[in-house]
Structure formats: structure tokens, C-alpha cells
Chains A and B, each alone.
Chain A
């Protein structure tokens, strides 16, 4: 049986000394740059002048940067010690967990899941900022039919980098911050199953960001983020940077996904059966599992692309016997499940919040599980609906239309659970609930517009047009990201100990919602009128809708800046939250805000599901609330309650 009580050493531990205490982000950057320069020079000398371009040098330098960064940041301290026959001492492990390190722990290889969660949150907000600025550049270039702020080469690169930066941001935006920060506390654990892998997942992602941005100085990418072959084969070295970044990102997400799944499966509190597990945990697990299966297809595609480009392999080059359709299939084998990798954790967060603010049990919690399983399973066999007009196997268009349209049944179950929870609830209209209503509005539009695209004859018209772009922005931004913003407001008090400024946040919510709907409703219009995606210029007939879209995008930007201001301001001077500002029932609300290192003095025991609103007899846990003052769930602790 696992130890349930935390044993602390009686004597004050001596802080560890030596090299490992001096490694941090800055040493990582220094070693990484050093490695990159040396690798570049070596390959340059060995390979000599290359008429085909500088792909070999670029790839080697980028990979060396990553390896150097990981060494410099201290990612290999543990394995290195183990290889030499030793292991980390208890003090060193405590040091790695960021014990008593203050703000410095956020800038080094720290294993505490809450530190990793904060790191992911800041990373996601930063990359959203970058992707958002790129979006504004794209929209500004398209403000009138004649405007040419950038040439077509820059424009195409902006589109591609905006795409990949936003895809990465949305994939990490829920599982990164909240899967790490909240999920372990929610299941009553002291940390993730593999704390060092957790830190590794973040520090694998971190060096990918400069690699993505280096696309800008390496000639850009002409392909968009889909990186279709054989266009990717004739692209400048920016394509190599793109491929290296993807390979790295998929490694990072695989490490994170394994960790999340193992943690949720093995480390739930005693008594927390699956039906008593909070729905957010299920969403995070389902999303991670799907990502673990799907994302490596993209990694393989990018690895082969690199070999095509640098070593003249010919996986995807038709002139040498390769197949562009092989690439497209690999890409979409990742690409369609990937939208659900983004969506499901966000949906999990929305369903977690809905009972709290409706003061009602989650409606049909088993249906939600069926819905998640249905979506995860079906989403693996719908990928070729992205290839209805590719010419690849028209015979398969019918079957893929079938699987695609079937997904609306499990998705409908999720809607039923959400609407059923709100039904006759006592709606507590705080800011997170406002985001849930925003989610319902936007995701309904995103979902319904998807059915036009699932239909082959309609897709013949709408594929590759801005209609598609508007559709997936409605699902991924209007749905998943609005849900994630709600989750940020909801768990912000737990992370920082302070409430998010509700007035500022409400203004930001309405600004983003109005800007978002103006932008993308107008974009549907452009698409229906026949405007293709990813074009640097367009005919005058699309002028009005494009002007509206561009102006709407500025409104979104204002709303997002307000939201950021609300976060930064509240983080510094917000009202003190207390352990349970929303009167929630899941375990994270039973520990102080912010939670201490290792979360629980005594591990909790779970006795029911966390949605017993209006049911005096259902109690999620016997654990005492952190605030001894007023909570009516104050009840005897621990072991005695065990069945």
C-alpha cells in the first residue's frame, strides 16, 4: 500500500552544491547557441559548397541547438548521474522540485507539476501573442484588394507560421497549464507520475519556439502549415526549421501525454473510481491519448520530408517515384484527430465548470464518457475527408463521408450533457460561466458549418475556400479557446491565490466575442462567395467582407490585450481568493491557494463523485477543507472512512 502521509526529514536538509545548481534557461541558451555554431561550422567544412542549398547545415545546426539547450538547461542531470552509477540524493531531488527557490524555479529544469503548469501557461500566452500578431499582419495585408503590405513570399510564410504557432498554442493551452497544474491535485496526487519527464516535456517544447521563429530568417515556408509535398521539396531552408520544430513538438507532446495518462490511471486517490473521476481529468486523458496516437504521423511525415530535402530520398517526390498522396495521408492521419486533441480537453474544462456555476450535477456523466470515447475512436478514421477533392481514391469519399457525419452523434452527447446541466440550474453568472455561454454560441456555429464540409458535393465548392478557415476558427478558437479562457479564469485563483478582475475580464470577454463573430461570420461570407484560402490578394468582389474581417480582427486584438492586462494586473494586485472561491467540490478546492509543494499533507480519500449539488448525501471526499472557517464540508479526515 502506498504511503499516504508525507514523511519529511527531521533535520533541515543542506542545499546541494555543484554544477547542477547553476544550470538554468540562460545556460541552456548559451550552450545551445554554442553547439549550433560548432555544428554548423563542422558540416560546412565537411560538406563543402553545396549547389543544392544549405539544408544539411541548417538541419544540423537546429538539432545541435536543441541538444545543446537540453544539456545546458540540465535536462540530463539525472540520467547522467545514474549512468555514472549514482543517483540524485533526496536534497538534490528536492532542489529539482523547486523547493524554496522562489521565482528562479520557473526558469530552470523544475519537476514540480505546478511550476510546469505555470511555465506552460506563460508559454501558451506568449505563443498566442506571436500567432495573434502574425494574424493581424495577415489581415492588415488583406484589408483592401489592392493592398500589398508584404510581398507574396512573406505573406505565404506569415500564413504558414501563424498556422503552426496557433496549432501548437491550442494543443498546449489546456493540457499544458491545467493538465499539469490542476489535474494531479484533482485526482489527489502529490505530483505527476514522472516529474522529470514532465519538466522534460516543457523544456523540449521551449527550444522549438526559436526554431519556428528561425523560419523567418531562413527564407520562410511557401506551403502553409500543412507542408504539402512536393512544394515542400522546393522550399527554402525555412522548411527544414519547420520540420525540426514539428519533430521536437511531437516528442514533447508524446512525453507529456504518456505522463498525463499514467498519472491519471495510476495515481488517483483511494476511492476515486472512474465514475467518481472529475470530467476534466477524463477530457485531458482522452485528448492526450488521441494525441499520442495521432501526432507521430506528422513527425514521420516531417522526418521523411527532411530526408527528401537534405539526402535526396524520394518519399514524396513523384518525379522520383514518391507519392504526394502518401504525405497528404500521413498529414491528415494526424490532422483530423489533432483538432479533437485541441477540443476535448477544452470541452472537459467546460463540462467541469458547468455544474459549479449551474449548482447542479453534471447531466449524464456516463454519456460524456461515451461521447469522449466515440469522438476519440471515430476521429481516427475520418482523415480523408480532407482529401475529398485531392483525386486520391474517389471510391473512399462515400465511406469517409459516413464516418465524418457519424461524429456528430457523440458530439451531440457532449452538447446534451452541457445543456442538460444548465437546464433548470441556479445559474451563477460569474465570468467562467459567461465563457461557457460563449462556447455554446460559437461551437454550435462551428459544428453546424462542419456538416456542409462533410458532404462531398458541397465540399467540392467549399474545400480550400475561406469557408473552411472560418469553420475551424469557430471550433478551435470560438469553441476550444473560449473554453480555455474560461478555464483560466476558473483556475486562476488556485494558481495565483488571487481572483481575476471580473469587471475587466467581462469587458474583455464581450470585446473578444463580438470581434470574433464579426471577423469569422464575414469570413464565411468571403468563402461562400468563392474566395480561396491563403491568398495574398483577391478580386474586388470580396472587398466588403474582407474589410469587415480585418476590422473584426482588430477588435479581437483589443479584447485579448484587455484580457492579458486583466491577468497581469490581477496576478499582482487581485483580491485574495481563499481556497474555494467558486464553492466547487473537486479536490483542488480543498487545498490552499496556491497549493503548497506536494499539495497534500495527507492524501485524501474519495467517497463519491464531485457533482453532488443539491444532494446532501453525496460527498466527494472526507478530506477537511483547507479553510477551516466556513465550509460546510468540514468533516473528519482520512483513513477511518475507508470501505
Chain B
């Protein structure tokens, strides 16, 4: 549990507290605080390393929100894990009797109101923090998708293929997703058969493709390149193969891509358009 090579923060022993800390209870508290700090410090280091090391490349504004949330929640969890694991480790190390029944019972502590009330306050506070953070992020991502005039992309899932069309640009359609850099995009997602789930891992967005209804999700691409489009809801035989690519290109290259596929930039598709 303990990472020996982590920098071990030393418990500050203020001289005025010296007397108290040298008492048996004070020494116990000091040692447990040491274990707690070591584990917490290790977890804090881990929290900073973890999201960047594992999450996909950050290619949109929404993925940035995901990454921040993972970091913040990891930091919030670190002291809780440090406390629980710390006490568990300490009990194994210092309060343990081997194979034999301990000669006498432990102290009959039934409860401790101070501990209980502090525990409740801290856990409620953490929960409130998580909730406020989550609601703020949720509001921010929803607002970002709705304030500007976005590029609308119609996404259709079917067993086992994704199709995309651009109703604002003459109804161009494609099986690869092409997006312009830096422009808000709104995906209107539906399905022709069963439930699929439209997932852009690098952009941190996901929404189910449902038969008979249209669902929406929005983001703004922030990185040029080619990314993954996957299906995240088991949709039958070839679910694992229901994937394609999303390419983010500059606005001008996007416009020429539209034109080369027979569309007109900015012209709404009519009923006669080549809507696929």
C-alpha cells in the first residue's frame, strides 16, 4: 500500500503541542497521520498522472471537461482512501495478534459522537462539492452546445454501420464523419433498427441512437486529426465492428470537402437533396 519512494511528508510538530503529541494518544495520532499522509500523497501524485496517461487525446471542449472531472474527483477521493486504507494498514501493522486468540478484548468503544458528526459533515461536504462541480460542468457543456449556431450533423445508426449527413450543406452524406475545426457541432442522432450508441472517445461525447426518436449531443472540435467513432451499446452480431473515423479539418478544407461531394456550403437540404 505504501509507496516507499514517494516523498514522505513529515508531520509538523509544533512546539506548543509537544506535550500532547508525546503522550501515548498523541504518538498514536502522529503515526496514523503519517500513514494517512503518505497514502494520500501517493494518491495525489497518481491523480495528476492518471487522466493524461490513460484518457484518449483531448480533441474537443467536452473531452476537456471529462479530464478535469476525473482529476478533481481523484483529488477529492485521495484523502478518503488515505484515511480508510491508512487505518486498515495501521491496524494490521500495530494492533494485530497472530494466530492465537488475543488474550483480552479490545477497548469497548461503542461509538463516538465527535467522530460520527465530523465524518457526516465531511462526507456530506464532499458529496455537495461533487454535485456542484457536476452540475456546473453539465450546465457549461449544455450551454456551449446551444448558444451559437452550430453545424448540424444527422447521425444514423443501423446494424452495423454509421451514416452522417449535413442538412445545412445540401444534404451531403458519408460513412466517415468529417468536422471543421473550432466550430460548434450538434449531432442529431437516430437509428433505423435497434439501439446503438454514438461515441466519439477523443471528444468525450456519447448519445444513444434510438429507433423512432432523435437525440442530441453537441461539442466543439479543438484538434486537427483523425479520431475514432465507436458504437457503445451492444447492438447484435457485429457490434464490435461498428466503427468508423472522425476527421477534423480546417474550415476551408471542410468547405471544399462539402463541395467535392456535391453539396453547397450553407444551403439547406430540400426534400430533393441527396440525403442518404
- Total A-B Cβ pairs within 8 A: 267
In the bound complex, CA of A228 to CA of B234 (Å): 9
Q: Which residues of A contact B127 (CB under 8 A)?
A: 405-406, 408-409
Q: Chain B's nearest CB lies how many Å from the CB of A226? A: 8
Instruction: Return the contact of A538 from the options B66, B131, B240 (Cβ within 8 A).
Output: B240
User: Which of A253-261, A411-419, A470-478, A588-596 forms part of the interface with chain B?
Assistant: A411-419
Q: Contact between B70 and A533 (Cβ–Cβ < 8 Å)?
A: no
Contacts of B109 in A (CB 8 A): 360-361, 363, 420, 423-424
Residue-wise interface mask of A (516-527) relative to B, using a CB-CB cutoff of 8 A (1 in contact, 0 not):
000000001100
Q: Does A152 contact B (CB under 8 A)?
A: yes
* Docked-complex contact A401 and B138, CB < 8 angstroms: yes
- Nearest-CB residue, chain B, relative to A230: B194
A422 contacts partner chain B, Cβ-Cβ < 8 Å: yes
Residues of B within 8 A of A222 (CB): 234, 236-237
Expressed in whole angstroms, the minimum distance between the Cβ of B194 and any Cβ of chain A is 4
Q: Does B88 have its Cβ within 8 Å of any Cβ on chain A? A: yes
Judge if A156 is at the interface, Cβ distance under 8 Å: yes
Residues of A within 8 A of B96 (CB): 427, 429
The complex places the Cα of A524 from the Cα of B208 at a distance, in Å, of 22
Residues on B with C-beta less than 8 A from A460 are 62, 66, 204-206, 217
- Closest residue to A359 on the B side, CB-wise? B105
Q: Distance in Å from the Cβ of A374 to the closest Cβ of chain B? A: 11
Interchain CB contact under 8 A, A367 and B116: yes
The residue that B66 contacts in the complex, of A319, A416, A457, A539, with Cβ under 8 A, is: A457
Q: Which of A54-62, A68-76, A444-452 contacts B (4 or more CB under 8 A)?
A: A444-452
Report the separation of the CA atoms of residues A366 and B55 in the bound assembly, to the nearest whole angstrom. 42
A367 B111 Cβ-Cβ under 8 A: yes
**A224 within 8 A of partner (CB):** yes
With A391-B210, A423-B109, A424-B109 in contact, is A455–B239 under 8 Å at CB?
Answer: no
* B240 near A536: Cβ-Cβ < 8 Å: yes
A532 at the interface (CB under 8 A from B): yes
Using known A-B contacts A409-B120, A529-B54, A529-B56, determine if residue A422 contacts B211 with beta carbons closer than 8 Å.
no
Whether B240 contacts A427 by the Cβ 8 Å rule is no
Contact: B197 with A464, CB < 8 Å?
yes
Pick from B98, B137, B235: contact of A457, CB under 8 Å: B137
The residue from B56, B81, B123, B236 contacting A408, defined by CB atoms under 8 A apart? B123
Return the CB mask of A357-397 against B: 1 if under 8 Å, else 0. Answer: 01111011111000000000000000000000111001001
Asked if A532 contacts B231 (CB within 8 A), the reply is yes
CB distance from B188 to the nearest CB of A (A): 11
Asked if A451 meets B236 with Cβ closer than 8 Å, knowing A230-B194, A461-B201, A532-B199, the reply is: no
- Residues in chain B near residue A455, CB distance under 8 A: 69, 73, 130, 133-134, 137
A228-B234, A425-B106, A461-B201 known; 18 new pairs, CB 8 Å cut-off, are A152-B238, A231-B194, A324-B211, A359-B106, A365-B111, A390-B215, A391-B189, A405-B127, A408-B127, A419-B87, A419-B88, A426-B97, A440-B84, A444-B85, A457-B65, A460-B205, A460-B217, A532-B230
Q: List 13 A-B residue pairs with CB atoms under 8 Å apart, sorted by A's residue number.
A: A226-B234, A231-B234, A231-B235, A364-B116, A405-B127, A412-B120, A420-B112, A426-B104, A427-B102, A451-B73, A455-B69, A461-B55, A465-B232
Which A positions have Cβ atoms within 8 angstroms of B? 152-153, 155-156, 159, 222-224, 226, 228, 230-231, 234, 318-319, 324-325, 358-361, 363-367, 389-391, 394, 397-398, 401-402, 405-406, 408-409, 412-413, 415-416, 419-420, 422-430, 437, 440-441, 444, 448, 451-452, 454-458, 460-461, 463-465, 524-525, 528-530, 532-539, 583, 612-615
7 tightest Cβ-Cβ pairs between the two chains A and B: A391-B215, A464-B232, A530-B201, A426-B102, A614-B105, A318-B212, A535-B240
